Each structure stands twice: as structure tokens, then as C-alpha cells.
Amino acid sequence: MKSYEHDGVDLEDGKTRDKPTLRKIPNQALLSGLAYCVSSCSMILVNKFVLSSYNFNAGIFLMLYQNFVSVIIVMALSLMGLITTEPLTLRLIKVWFPVNVIFVGMLITSMFSLKYINVAMVTVLKNVTNVITAVGEMYLFNKHHDNKVWLALFLMIISAVSGGITDLSFNAVGYAWQIANCFLTASYSLTLRKTMDTAKQVTQSGNLNEFSMVLLNNTLSLPLGLILSFAFNEIDYLYNTPLLRLPGFWMVMTLSGLLGLAISFTSMWFLHQTGATTYSLVGSLNKIPLSIAGIVLFHVPTSLQNSASILFGLVAGVVFARAKMREKS
């Protein structure tokens, strides 16, 4: 949930995106960009609809079902020979399991925060992840950023604080979950690259493509998600809620799972058709229509001050993306 790129890895909505090696299809950049924007926006809006409009109080189960849908589809495509995936060996699972624990925590905290906070504020608060990641890179990897990057990060902090102060629907529980999500997302970003390099050494082909990572992350998340669902006492809720007896509710949940997988495919497609620079900038710009749609569709009470804070945060995200582009170049 979310558009953040770290060394070619995008962490939006909690999904792993590695740079693909597919052959470019000419004149597909616009179509791939639209597909990526629509799928990423729709995923967040559908999740918000399930959690808030349906008042569904089992965010872990929602994550579990979405990942289960992804596993089934990826395995089916692999069996049909349409995609290639690495076998899930015990050595590969041992290497990947620690980062998968962070991945599951990232998805769950995202679900919990989205239930209590409006989409626009979630989008702005996720910018704090960039700040934590930049500080982590500086202390852990001795990576230094130029002044324009730090200026953009400072603007993100200002927008998050001012947005929280002026939020008419402020919810302390939701903000706490979102802060936890920012730290987990940053941790995932900081540990993922090294884990990927180690994982490639224990695969049969010596590589780990996008489809293999989707299958690996989602498969390992199933038993862990099931344990957490019991721990958070969601099983009793699921047994008693009438929502699970509604076919329409299952259709919406299945749609959310399909959209989650669509983000992985469309982001890979778009990244290959354009490149990391355009991909990162479009991801930042995509937050603007998402925030507007979240306010309009869910009738979020807002004020001029809060709207200005949200806009300020979205602009800060674009400034950050451009500053990172210049830094890399």
C-alpha cells in the first residue's frame, strides 16, 4: 500500500517488486502505467471498503485470504507453463522466513490502520517511512543523501504532523498502527536487498524473479497469518459474523486478492516498459487521485487546513521522488 522505491524494490500495499528481465513490448508504456495506477488505487479503496463500509473486524483474515488467492493463481500459472517460479526448498525458506515475518507485520498493521484512518491521511503518513528508511540507510549502510532529499523528508514530517493535528476524524489507535506500519515497512526495505542476494545463492537457477518472490512471500505468510488470526481472537468473530454468509462480501474480498496480485504484475510490466525513474515519479503522482477518491467515496469530513496539509504532503512526496532521481543520476 503504498509508492516507495528502494534500489529497484517497490514497497507499495506491502508487495515486493524486483526489476524484471522481460522483453520490452513497444508502445505499451501508457497502457502499463494506467494498469498499474488503476490496480494500486483500487486495491487500497477496496480494502478500505471491506474494513470500514462492511465494518469487517478481521484484518488478519482479510490479508490471509488475499495472499491465499495470490498463491493459488501464481501456482496455477506456473503449472500451465505461463510463468516460471523457483521451487520452495527448505534452504530458501530458511533464508526468507525472517524478512517474511516483517512482511506479514507490514501488511497487518496496514490493514489495521486503514480501518481507522481515512485513505488520504494514510497516504500522507506513509511518507514517514521514507524518513525512517533514509535515517536507517545513513546509520546502517553509511549512505548519505543530498540536501534536496533531506528537505523533501523534512516537508514530509511537517505535512504528517500538521495533517494529524487538523484531522477531523483523528483516531489514536489508527495512528498508532500506522506508525508501527512505517517502522515495519522501513525495516522490510532495509533488510530486503541483502535477503534477496542471499536467497539467489540457494535457488536452483541462481536467480529469484518477481513471480517466485510473490509465491514465496505469500505462501510463507499463510501459516503465520493463521497463528496470528487465532492470537487476535478473529476465529470467534469469523464464526459469528453474518458477513461470511453473504456471496457479495466474498466477491469483494476475492476482488481485493486479485487486485493485490495485479499490482505485482502491472508494476513489473510498467517498470520494464519505462524504467525506475518514471515508475517512481508516477507512483508518487498516483497518490493524488487516490487521496481525492478516498475523501469523496467515503465522505470523509475535512477542513481547509487538513486538505492543505494533505496536499502539502502529496507534493512533498513528488519532490522527494524527483530529489532521489537526481541523487541517483
Length of the chain: 329
CA pair distance 71, 149, nearest whole angstrom: 37
The overall pTM is greater than 0.95: no
Grid cell 509465491 — which residue?
A: 215
Name 42's Cβ contacts closer than 8 Å, sequence gap at least 6: 259
Are 55 and 256 spatial neighbours (Cβ–Cβ below 8 Å)?
no
pLDDT values of the chain reduced to their tens digit, one per residue, 329 residues: 333 344 444 444 444 444 444 444 456 788 888 998 999 999 999 999 999 999 999 999 999 999 999 999 999 999 998 888 889 899 999 999 999 999 999 999 999 999 999 999 999 999 899 899 889 888 888 888 888 889 888 988 999 999 999 998 899 999 999 999 999 999 998 998 788 888 888 888 888 888 888 899 999 999 999 999 999 999 999 999 999 999 999 999 999 999 989 988 888 788 778 776 677 778 888 888 999 999 999 999 888 999 999 998 888 888 888 888 777 76
Is the torsion defined by CA of 276, 280, 281, 283 positive or negative? Answer: positive
